[in-house]
């Protein structure tokens, strides 16, 4: 039997929505998503979590969860998070990426889409 850990290159793969809408609609880019992405990437690297067997932090286009923005999603667990500031990103890195525990207070409500 093949397990996820045997087939997965990264333990966690994190996608940040960095989509920008020019028509005035809500979008993650207008809510500090790029700064949060940069902070997360640097934090993961500083913690020694980056790379194969660890975490990969990636930019994404629209993830279609604009009403909850800004958002990121962590795979393989498929946990969606909403964040406000660097402290929220630090908590996701420390609790989810390091310890494997979901940060319930930052989970994106399931009903929020575009």
Q: Which of 33, 54, 44 is nearest to 93 (CA)?
A: 44
DSSP element (H, E) containing 96: none
Average pLDDT, whole number, for the chain?
Answer: 91
The pLDDT tens digits for 23-70 are 877 889 999 999 999 999 999 999 999 999 999 999 999 999 888 879
DSSP element (H, E) containing 8: none
| Residue spans per domain, the chain | 4-106
Q: What is the pLDDT of residue 1?
A: 45
pLDDT band at 7 (very low <50, low <70, confident <90, very high): low
Question: What is the CATH code of the structural domain delimited by 4-106?
Answer: 3.40.30.10
* Alpha-helical regions (H) of the chain: 4-7, 33-46, 86-91
Q: Which of 79, 76, 62 is nearest to 28 (CA)?
A: 62
Q: Which of 60, 82, 59 is nearest to 69 (CA)?
A: 82
| C-alpha dist (Å) from residue 81 to 2, 69, 73, 95 | 29, 9, 6, 13
């Amino acid at each position: 039997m093949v397990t996820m850990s045997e087939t997965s290159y990264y333990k966690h793969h994190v996608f940040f929505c960095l989509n920008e809408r020019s028509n005035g609609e809500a979008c993650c880019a207008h809510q500090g998503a790029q700064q949060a992405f940069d902070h997360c990437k640097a934090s993961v690297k500083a913690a020694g979590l980056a790379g194969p067997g660890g975490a990969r932090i990636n930019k994404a286009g629209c993830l279609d969860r604009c009403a909850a923005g800004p958002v990121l999603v962590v795979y393989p667990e498929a946990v969606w998070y909403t964040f406000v500031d660097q402290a929220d990103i630090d908590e996701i890195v420390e609790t989810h990426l390091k310890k494997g525990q979901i940060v319930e207070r930052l989970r994106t409500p399931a009903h929020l889409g575009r």
